[in-house]
Amino acid sequence: MPFIQHVETVNAPYRVNQEETVEVVRELFGEHFSDIDRLLKVFGNGQIESRYFAAPLPWFQQSHDLEEKNELYINEAIKMGIQAVTGCLQEMNTAKEEIDAFFFISSSGMATPTIDARIMNELLFPSHIKRIPIWGLGCAGGAAALSRAHEFLLAYPSAKVLVLCLELCSLTFQRGDTSKSNLIGTSLFADGAACALMTGEDIKQEKISPRTIDTMSTLMPHSEDVMGWDIKNEGLHVIFSRDIPSIIEEWLKPNVETFLDKLNKKPADITHFVAHPGGKKVLQAYEKALAFTEEKTAPSREVLAVQGNMSSPTVLYVLKKIMNQQPSEGDNGLVTALGPGFSSELVWIEWGEKGI
């Protein structure tokens, strides 16, 4: 089975605390909501203390069209992606010539050719690397990327692949959108990049790393209005259904149980819960649905507190935190993330023998 060798993370350049963000939002939205103070409590109640943005806070106080936002997305994504890829390869003492495929996941900006091609050109990667850019998976993208790379490495067990998840969600902020969805998105969204090196089972291991054992993808029929983007002249407008926590409670448990049954496992068998922290209510819904304590979701809560919701890379930040704790041989984990569709991605991982 494939191995996850390393996860490298890169923060966006501008760190802001939640109190600073609240004051900017109060200034921008105060005249549109008579109950602005009540609505702004979402910033304090979300358990987010700080976030990282691709632009400084004053930038968000001005109007920007789609062209300007997307140009900034491309420029900053290339910079952050180069840092993440370079750091990952250097940490693992892996040459770019050893990479066989490059998975790139993003949903917060648009580029053709995609960002992975631009990064490969900047870093002078070999020209025959297989490129697999995937757009539109949103918050499910990190877990989905591990799943797709897992399947690739089952077919090519001597291969090495990069998985780069990169989102600049803050650049989708709509200054003129006074909807509550936009307000909630503003309280949650952040920017970040995470690059994972994964290898096939024929690659000799120098340390105990998590192995991807199995995966499951699930699409909820006719649920397009639960989560996603509306694409308008001004750019990407966030879609958030207020039913997301209840959907998780009612839909996720049987979905997870189906996957675990396939593995002859139960929720109580999960050593490490590697969950995308979509927000405080999402984590509470996970706990309720799977009968988990806050201790089980602690790594996700810690990432949410200092990073916010970065969409696809966030679950890889959680995975990195758990990998840095050096789990014991025999430990396992469930990687889970939910995204537009409405959809679920699940990956079962195990810390086992080093390989051949």
Length of the chain: 356
Residue type, 15: R
| Three-state DSSP class for residue 38 | helix
Rounded Cα distance, 193 and 186, in Å: 19
Beta-carbon contacts of 198 under 8 Å, excluding residues fewer than 6 positions away, are: 2, 3, 4, 5, 146, 149, 150, 153, 160, 161, 162, 163, 212
Residue 139 annotated to the active site: yes
Q: Estimate to the nearest angstrom the gap between the alpha carbon of 238 and the chain centroid.
A: 16
- Under the phi-then-psi rule, with left for phi > 0, alpha for psi from -120 to 50, and beta for the rest, what region is 341? left
Q: What is the DSSP letter of 271?
A: S
Ramachandran quadrant class, 311 (left: phi over 0; alpha: psi -120 to 50; beta: rest): left
Of 88, 139, 165, 195, the catalytic one is 139
For residues 48 and 304, is the Cβ–Cβ distance under 8 A?
yes
CA–CA separation, 100 and 67 (whole Å): 33
Around 211, how many Cα atoms within 13 Å sit in the side-chain half-sphere?
23
Q: How many CB atoms lie within 10 A of CB 312?
A: 31
State phi, psi for 231 to the nearest 5 degrees: -95, 115
d(CA 320, CA 32): 41
Residues identified as active-site = 139
